[in-house]
Amino acid sequence: MFRFLGIQAKNRKEWGISHIGNFHSGTTTIALYDTLGEEASKYVIDQTELITVAMSGDLVPKMIKLKQDATANADRRMARLENLITFDNVADDVVADGTSCGINIIKFDDVIAKGKEVIAKGEWKPTEPTRDDCPMFSYTSGTTGDPKGVMLTHGALCGTSASV
């Protein structure tokens, strides 16, 4: 059974921290990227049943609008999306827009603080990944149809790294 976290942002430290955090919690990263397009993004979010996406603050209003539009058009592909973890501060009206369509806006710094608290109490220990664990699905852009997802295992990633 997979647990997924979507991540959408340009290259930045929070992207890497989120991805490495996934490694150690048995969670699989679903990378969303700007060139994916709205339809392909909705397809990936639906196929993976994403509940949470970590993202840069400038993309939060776009994701909220995507859910609002999908809901208005009876498009269920965004129905499961409930949480956006923002790497940056967002305006209060953006938070209100999210709340109005069932999306919680959570600050990345708050997630980090909660993680430190849970670790300090001894309530969480990192998961040691195995070669067969899948830390990431990589999706095509979907230029010839719906995007295709490839499951990347730790073994495949380590093998590729070792061959360089």
CATH number, domain at 141?
Answer: 3.40.50.12780
Q: Of 110 and 141, which is predicted with more confidence?
A: 110
Residue found by looking up tokens 């919680």 in the block = 104
Mean pLDDT along residues 22-40 = 90
pLDDT computed for residue 33 by the predictor: 87
Looking at the structure of the chain, the number of domains it has is 1
Tell me the whole-structure pTM to 2 decimals.
0.93
Mean pLDDT along residues 76-99 = 97
Q: Of 149 and 164, which is predicted with more confidence?
A: 149
Residue found by looking up tokens 């990192």 in the block = 126
pLDDT at 98 over 80: yes
Mean pLDDT along residues 115-144 = 90
Q: Name the residue among 118, 154, 155 with its Cα closest to residue 26.
A: 154
Mean pLDDT along residues 119-140 = 91
Q: Of 60 and 36, which is predicted with more confidence?
A: 60
pLDDT at 83 over 90: yes
Q: Kindly report the average pLDDT of the chain as a whole number.
A: 94
pLDDT computed for residue 22 by the predictor: 93
Residue found by looking up tokens 């603080």 in the block = 113
pLDDT computed for residue 164 by the predictor: 83
pLDDT computed for residue 142 by the predictor: 67
| Cβ–Cβ < 8 Å for 51, 78 | no
For residue 153, the 8-state DSSP code is P
What percentage of the chain carries pLDDT values higher than 70? 99
Structural domain harbouring 24 = 4-162
148 CB-near residues (< 8 Å, 6+ apart) = 139, 140, 142
